[in-house]
C-alpha cells in the first residue's frame, strides 16, 4: 500500500504487519511516535498484540524477555537514555538467545539535555550481542524492521536485533512509503527453548565457567552465521517485494578514488556530495554501512576513505573509523567526527571533508580550527 | 480446608542452607500451585538453591532474571500466556532486597497495570545471596554485615506500600504455619489480577539462629506480634487465626530477640521502638478489620 509516513510511523507500520503478540514500551523523544502509533493500532483492533505500557525502559526490555521466552514475537522501541537504562537487559536478551526486535531512534546522551541525532547510544551497546542495522530513509526503516524479525527468529541466529534511525532527521521526516503483506516471508516464530511446563527446566541458572564460555562462543557463532542469514533475508525480500538491500548502500563506488563511509542519514547527504565532487573532477563514491553488527566484510582496494562518525569513543577515536582500521590495517583513513547532538552537516560540508582530507588524521567538524 | 498434596516439586538435594525456611515455604507454594506453573526468580538465594546448570532442583520451569526485573519479566510472561489463551500460573519468588529495594519500581508498575500474576516476597530481612547485608526490610537494631552496629533505620513497610496499589488479594504468611500459607497461595492463584504474598523467612545464617530453630523462631515472630498474619481480599482485611490467638496474650518481644544473634547488644531504646511499632501495627490492623478506618 502506498502512503506517506514519518520514519517512526514506518516502523510502527512494519511492526503491525509483522503481527507480534506482545509489545512493551516506554516513551522517549524522539521515539514516542512509534509507541503511540502502535498503541493506536492495538486499540483500533488493527493489531492483535498485547500492549504493555511499562513504567521504565528496564521493564520494557524485561517484559519483552518474559514474553519472548514463552515463544511469542515481541517488539519494543526506545532511544538514548532509554536504551542505556535497558543496558543490563540488552545483555540478558542476547545471552538468553531471544529474538526480540527493537527500533532505536538515535539520540545523544546528557548532560546537557539534547534530543537530537547522535549515534553514541547505539555505539555504547555495540558489544551487547545484538545485531544492529542503521537505516537512512522511511522505506528502508519499514523494510528493515520487517526483515529484522525474520533474521532474529532464524534458528541459526536467535539473537535480538536493533534497527537504528537517526532522531528527527529520519524519525520525523515524511517520505513516501510502500507497505507490503509479509505473508509467509515471516513464518510463525519457533523458539526451541520456549518455556514448557510439561518439560520443566531451569533458565539462566548458575552456570560454571566452561558452559558459560561455550554459551558466549555460541553467540559469536550465531553472529558469524548472521551475514549469510541476513543476505538470504534481503535477497528473498528483493524477490518478493522488489527492493534491494545489502551490507552497504553504495553510490558511484566502482570507479571512485575516495570513498565516503558513514552510517544512517549522513550516507544520503554523502550521495549529493558525490555528485558535487564528481562535477569538480574528484572521483568520489559513497559507501553507507547498513550492518553495524555483525560488521560486514568490505572491499576498499587501495582507495582513500573519508569516514564520518556521528559519535565517538572518548580517549580512542571515531567508532566506525576504528572498526574499519582494526579490520583493514592498511586502510588510509581520514576520520571526521561530525553531527553530534544534531549538529547540521550538509552535503556541502561533506564535500568539503573530501576536498580538504588529510589522510591519517582526525577532524572534529565545527570544533577544530 | 483442603489437604496439602503429597506431590513434591522441589527435589531433596537443593543447595539451601540447613534449616532454610525459604525452601520450606516454596515447597508449599508449589504444592498449592501445581505443575502448570512458571517461577520467575531474580538474583537471590533462590537462584542459587535451585542448583547449577544443566540441572535444576525444581520440577516446574524457573526463569532467572536480573535483580531489578522480576515483576516486569512476569508481566511480559503473563501477557504472552494470555495471548496464547493459556492459564499457566506465573509466580515471582523474590527476596526482600529484590522487592523492597531494587525491584520496587517494576513491582509497582506491574501491580498498577493489573498484571495477572502472584508476586511472593520471601523476606529473610537481609541480602542473603551476597552475604547478609542490610536491606530495606532489615528491622531496626539488627546487625548485618553493612550495619555492624545494628540498623538505625526502621523496616520499610512493604505491606502498606503494596496495599496502596489496591490489588485484589494480599496476604502475609510464614512456613511456620504451613496450612495458612498453603491456603493463601491457593486463594491468591484463584483470584484474577495481581496478588501479593509477603512470607517471613527465618534464616539461620542471617538471623544467627541454629538451623533446628528456624520454624520455632517463625512461630515466635507471630506469637510476639512482630509479624502479623492476615489477608486482604478486595480490600477486606481478616487477621488470620494464629495471629488472632497470639493477640489474646502476646509473648514477650525479648524472647524473640534474645534467641537471635543478630539482635545481640540491642539497646533498650531500640527494643522500645520495636515494641511501639508492633503496638501501632496491631492497632491499625485491628481497626481495619473492624471497619474503623
Ligand atoms: C544490579 C545488581 N546489583 C547487585 C546485585 C548483587 N546481588 C545479587 S542477589 C543480591 C541480594 C539479594 O537479596 P534478597 O533480594 O533479599 O534475596 P536473598 O538473597 O536474601 O534471598 C544482590 C545485592 C545484582 N545481582 N544485580
Ligand atoms: S541464606 Fe537464609 S534464606 Fe538464603 S538459603 Fe540460607 S537460610 Fe535460606
Ligand of minimum distance to the alpha carbon of B26: 2
Give nearest CA residue, ligand 2 atom 3. Answer: B203
DSSP code at position B252:
P
Phi first, then psi: give them for residue A235, nearest 5 degrees.
-65, -45
Question: What kind and span of H or E run contains A364?
Answer: strand A362-364
A83 by DSSP, 3-state: which? Answer: helix
Take residue B201 and report the three cell numbers written for it. Answer: 523467612
Q: What is the mean pLDDT of residues B108-114?
A: 98
Smallest CA–CA separation between B218 and chain A, in Å? 29
How many CB pairs (< 8 A) connect A and B? 160
Nearest CA to ligand 2 atom 6: B17
Whether A122 and A106 have beta carbons less than 8 Å apart is answered as: yes
Q: Smallest Cα–Cα separation from B181: which of B137, B234, B229, B247?
A: B229
Shortest Cα–Cα distance, A345 to chain B (Å): 40
- Rounded to the nearest whole angstrom, what is the distance from the C-alpha of residue A280 to the centroid of ligand 2? 75
Which ligand has the minimum distance to the alpha carbon of residue B213?
2
* B205 Cβ below 6 A of ligand 2: yes
pLDDT tens digits for range A252-296? 999 999 999 999 999 999 999 999 999 999 999 999 999 999 999
Task: Name residues of chain A where pLDDT drops below 50.
Answer: none
B55–chain A Cβ distance below 8 A for any pair? yes
Whether A94 has its CB under 8 Å from any CB of chain B: the answer is no
- pLDDT (0 to 100) of residue A315: 97
pLDDT recorded at residue A368 = 75
Residue of A150, A169, A110 whose CA lies nearest to A338: A169
As a residue count, chain A comes to 369
Instruction: Report the percent of chain B where pLDDT is more than 70.
Output: 99
Q: From CA A354, how far away is CA B59, in angstroms rounded?
A: 64
Q: Which atom of ligand 2 is nearest to the CA of B48?
A: 5
> Given CB atoms, is A89 within the 8 Å cutoff of chain B?
yes
- Of all ligands present, the nearest one to the C-alpha of B217 is 2
The C-alpha atoms of residue A175 and residue A4 are separated, in whole angstroms, by 5
Best of A22, A99, A191, A203 to substitute, by most chain B Cβ atoms within 10 angstroms, is A203
The answer to whether A202 contacts B69, with C-beta atoms less than 8 Å apart, is no
Q: What residue has cell string 547510544?
A: A121
Of A60, A70, A202, the CB nearest to B77: A70
Which sign, positive or negative, has the C-alpha torsion B62, B112, B124, B26?
A: negative
Which of the four pLDDT bands, split at 50, 70 and 90, describes residue B13? confident
Q: Strands A22-25, A50-53: parallel, antiparallel or unpaired by DSSP? A: parallel
CA distances from B61 to A100, A198, A363, B35, B154 (A): 21, 9, 54, 9, 36
User: What's the number of CA atoms in the CB half-sphere (13 Å) around residue B57?
Assistant: 18
Task: Enter the C-alpha cell of residue B160.
Answer: 502498606
pLDDT digits (tens, 9 = 90+) for A160-213: 999 999 999 999 999 999 999 999 999 999 999 999 999 999 999 999 999 999
Nearest Cα to Cα of residue A272 among A285, A256, A259, A289:
A285
> Is B114 in CB contact (< 8 Å) with chain A?
no
pLDDT in tens, B53-63: 998 999 999 99
Cell numbers representing residue B176 in the block:
511456620
Q: Do B80 and A201 count as a contact with CB atoms less than 8 A apart?
A: no
Count of alpha carbons within 13 angstroms of residue B221, beta-carbon side = 26
Judge contact between A255 and A283, C-beta under 8 A. Answer: yes
CB contact under 8 A, A201 and B64: no
Q: Please, are residues B14 and B21 in contact by the beta-carbon 8 Å criterion?
A: no
Of A66, A72, A196, the CB nearest to B73: A66
Q: Which residues of chain A does B8 touch, with a Cβ-Cβ cutoff of 8 Å?
A: none
Closest-lying ligand 2 atom to the alpha carbon of residue B128: 1
CB atoms within 10 A of CB A45: 7
Q: Which residue of B has its CA nearest to A215?
A: B53
- Closest Cα to residue A70, out of A21, A110, A112? A21
Backbone angles phi, psi at A207, to 5 degrees: -130, 130
Prediction ipTM score: 0.93
Cβ A337 vs Cβ A347: under 8 Å:
no
Hey, of A22, A59, A191, A218, which one would you mutate to test binding to chain B, going by the most B CBs within 10 A of its CB?
A: A59
Cα distances from B62 to residues A31, A67, A100, A113, B69, in angstroms, run 34, 14, 20, 41, 14
- Is B68 in contact with A49 (Cβ distance < 8 A)? no
Q: What is each CA distance from A145 to A77, A231, B76, in whole angstroms?
A: 11, 15, 21
Judge: B72–A63 Cβ closer than 8 Å, yes or no: yes
Q: Give the residue on B whose Cα is nearest the Cα of A63.
A: B76
Indicate if the alpha-carbon torsion angle A94, A96, A99, A103 is positive or negative.
Answer: negative
Q: What is the DSSP string of B72-118?
A: HHHHHHHHHHHHTT---EEEEEEEHIIIIITTHHHHHHHHHTT-S-E
Distance set, CA B100 to CA B38, B107, B169, B198 (Å):
22, 9, 18, 11
Q: Is A34 on the interface with B (CB under 8 A)?
A: no
How far, in Å, from the CA of A330 to the mean position of ligand 1? 48
**Cross-chain residue pair A62–B65, CB shorter than 8 Å:** yes
Does the distance separating the beta carbons of A208 and B109 come in below 8 Å? no
Task: Give residue-wise pLDDT tens across range A150-166.
Answer: 999 999 999 999 999 99
DSSP state of B251: P
Ligand 2 centre distance from Cα of residue B102 (Å): 19
The pLDDT of residue B12 is 85
How many degrees, rounded to 5, is the angle at CA A283 between CA A280 and CA A287? 125
Residue A5 pairs in a beta bridge with A175
Judged against a pLDDT cut of 90, whether residue B236 lies above it is answered with yes
Which residue has its alpha carbon closest to ligand 1 atom 5? B67
Instruction: Give pLDDT, residue A369.
Output: 57
Q: What confidence score (pLDDT) does residue B293 get? A: 75
Interchain contact, B77 vs A195, CB within 8 Å: yes
The predicted pLDDT at position A151 comes to: 98
Give the whole-angstrom CA distance, residue A137 versus residue A225: 27
Residue with cell 565545527: A366
DSSP-derived letter for residue B147 is B
Burial class (CB in 10 A: 0-12, 13-18, 19+), B157: middle
Give the residue among B78, B109, B39, B108 at the shortest CA–CA distance from A60: B109
Q: Kindly identify which residue of chain B lies nearest to residue A88, measuring between CA atoms.
A: B66
**Contacting residues of B for A55, CB less than 8 Å apart:** 105-106, 108-109, 112
**CB-based contact B63 A63, cutoff 8 Å:** no
- Give the pLDDT confidence score for residue B1 in this predicted structure: 55
What percent of chain A clears pLDDT 90, i.e. is strictly above it? 99
In the block, cell 492459564 appears at: B87
Residue whose CA lies nearest to ligand 2 atom number 7:
B20
Q: Does B165 touch chain A (CB under 8 A)?
A: no
Q: What is the pTM (predicted TM-score) of this model?
A: 0.96
Amino acid at each position: 500500500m502506498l502512503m506517506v509516513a514519518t520514519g517512526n510511523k514506518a516502523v510502527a507500520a512494519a511492526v503491525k504487519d509483522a503481527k507480534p503478540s506482545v509489545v512493551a514500551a516506554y516513551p522517549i523523544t524522539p521515539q514516542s511516535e512509534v509507541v503511540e502509533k502502535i498503541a493506536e493500532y492495538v486499540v483500533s483492533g488493527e493489531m492483535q498484540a498485547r500492549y504493555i505500557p511499562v513504567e521504565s525502559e528496564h521493564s520494557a526490555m524485561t517484559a519483552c524477555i518474559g514474553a519472548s521466552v514463552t515463544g511469542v514475537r515481541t517488539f519494543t522501541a526506545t532511544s538514548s537514555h532509554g536504551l542505556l537504562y535497558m543496558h543490563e537487559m540488552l545483555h540478558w536478551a542476547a545471552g538468553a538467545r531471544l529474538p526480540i526486535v527493537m527500533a532505536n531512534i538515535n539520540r545523544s546522551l546528557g548532560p546537557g539535555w539534547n534530543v537530537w541525532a547522535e549515534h553514541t547510544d547505539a555505539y555504547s551497546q555495540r558489544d551487547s550481542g545484538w545485531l544492529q542495522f542503521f537505516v537512512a530513509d522511511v522505506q528502508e526503516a519499514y523494510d528493515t524492521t520487517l526483515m529484522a524479525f525474520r533474521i532474529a527468529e532464524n534458528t541459526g541466529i536467535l539473537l535480538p536485533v536493533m534497527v537504528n534511525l537517526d532522531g528527527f532527521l529520519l524519525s520525523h521526516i515524511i517520505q513516501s512509503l510502500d507497505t507490503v503483506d509479509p505473508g509467509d516471508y515471516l513464518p510463525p516464530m519457533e523458539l526451541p527453548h520456549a518455556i514448557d511446563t510439561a518439560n520443566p527446566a531451569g533458565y539462566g541458572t548458575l552456570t560454571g565457567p566452561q558452559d558459560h564460555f561455550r554459551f558466549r562462543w555460541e553467540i559469536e557463532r550465531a553472529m558469524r552465521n548472521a551475514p549469510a542469514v541476513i543476505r538470504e533475508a534481503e535477497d528473498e525480500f528483493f524477490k518478493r517485494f522488489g527492493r534491494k538491500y545489502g551490507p552497504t548502500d553504495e553510490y558511484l563506488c566502482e570507479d571512485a578514488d575516495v570513498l565516503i563511509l558513514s552510517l544512517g542519514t549522513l550516507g544520503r547527504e554523502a550521495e549529493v556530495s558525490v555528485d558535487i565532487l564528481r562535477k569538480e573532477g574528484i572521483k568520489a563514491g559513497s559507501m553507507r554501512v547498513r550492518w553495524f553488527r555483525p560488521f560486514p566484510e568490505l572491499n576498499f582496494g587501495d582507495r582513500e576513505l573519508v569516514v564520518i562518525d556521528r559519535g565517538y569513543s572518548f580517549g580512542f577515536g571515531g567508532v566506525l573509523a576504528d572498526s574499519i582500521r582494526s579490520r583493514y590495517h592498511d586502510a588510509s583513513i581520514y576520520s571526521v567526527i561530525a553531527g553530534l547532538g544534531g549538529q547540521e552537516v550538509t552535503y556541502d560540508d561533506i564535500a568539503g571533508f573530501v576536498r580538504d582530507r588529510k589522510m591519517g588524521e582526525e577532524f572534529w567538524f565545527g570544533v577544530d580550527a | 480446608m483442603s489437604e496439602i498434596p503429597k506431590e513434591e516439586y522441589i527435589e531433596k538435594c537443593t543447595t539451601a542452607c540447613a534449616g532454610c525456611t525459604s525452601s520450606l515455604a516454596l515447597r508449599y507454594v508449589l504444592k498449592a500451585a501445581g505443575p502448570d506453573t512458571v517461577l520467575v526468580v531474580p538474583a537471590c538465594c533462590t537462584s542459587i538453591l535451585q542448583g547449577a546448570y544443566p540441572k535444576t532442583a525444581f520440577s516446574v520451569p524457573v526463569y532467572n532474571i536480573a535483580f531489578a526485573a522480576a515483576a516486569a519479566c512476569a508481566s511480559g510472561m503473563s501477557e504472552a500466556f494470555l495471548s496464547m489463551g493459556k492459564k499457566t500460573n506465573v509466580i515471582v519468588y523474590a527476596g526482600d532486597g529484590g522487592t523492597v529495594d531494587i525491584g520496587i519500581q517494576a513491582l509497582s508498575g506491574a501491580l498498577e497495570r493489573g498484571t495477572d500474576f502472584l508476586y511472593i516476597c520471601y523476606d529473610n530481612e537481609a541480602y542473603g545471596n551476597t552475604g547478609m547485608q542490610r536491606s530495606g526490610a532489615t528491622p531496626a537494631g539488627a546487625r548485618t554485615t553493612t550495619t555492624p552496629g545494628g540498623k538505625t533505620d526502621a523496616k520499610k513497610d512493604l505491606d502498606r506500600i503494596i496495599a496502596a496499589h489496591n490489588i485484589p488479594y494480599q496476604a502475609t504468611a510464614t512456613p511456620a504455619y504451613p496450612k495458612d500459607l498453603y491456603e493463601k497461595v491457593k486463594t491468591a492463584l484463584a483470584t484474577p489480577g495481581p496478588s501479593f504474598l509477603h512470607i517471613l523467612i527465618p534464616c539461620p545464617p542471617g538471623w544467627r539462629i541454629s538451623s533446628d530453630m528456624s520454624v520455632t523462631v517463625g512461630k515466635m515472630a507471630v506469637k510476639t506480634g512482630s509479624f502479623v498474619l492476615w489477608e486482604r481480599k478486595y480490600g477486606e482485611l481478616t487477621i488470620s487465626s494464629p495471629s488472632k490467638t497470639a493477640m489474646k496474650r502476646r509473648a514477650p518481644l525479648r524472647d524473640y530477640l534474645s534467641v537471635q544473634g543478630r539482635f545481640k547488644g540491642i539497646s533498650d531504646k531500640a527494643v522500645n521502638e520495636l515494641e511501639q511499632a508492633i503496638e501501632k501495627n496491631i492497632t491499625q490492623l485491628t481497626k481495619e478489620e473492624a471497619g474503623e478506618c
